[in-house]
Amino acid sequence: MGKCAACGSKSTQKNKTSVFPKDPDRRIQWIAAVRALRKPNWNPTKDSVLCEVCFIVFKFYIL
């Protein structure tokens, strides 16, 4: 697994990473969250992942 798209953390046992959802609606929400909270001009690649810490933060943004 790669590094978290939002914070750059590597995947570890304590902080696992998740791939971006395939579902287009959810995927757009994840992308919007990364852009709003971390990187305004960010675009995902097929290898993009989010770590658990960022996912928890983003969960409040991703409804």
Task: Report the interface residues with Zn ion, using CB under 5 A.
Answer: 4, 6-7, 9, 51, 54
Among residues 12 and 28, whose Cβ is nearest to Zn ion? 12
Q: Shortest distance, CB of residue 21 to Zn ion, whole angstroms? A: 16
Among residues 6 and 33, whose Cβ is nearest to Zn ion? 6
Q: Shortest distance, CB of residue 46 to Zn ion, whole angstroms? A: 18
Cβ count within 10 A of residue 53:
16
Instruction: Please choose, from the candidates 52, 56, 44, the residue with its C-alpha nearest in 3D space to the C-alpha of residue 20.
Output: 44
Residues 40, 6 contacting (CB under 8 angstroms):
no
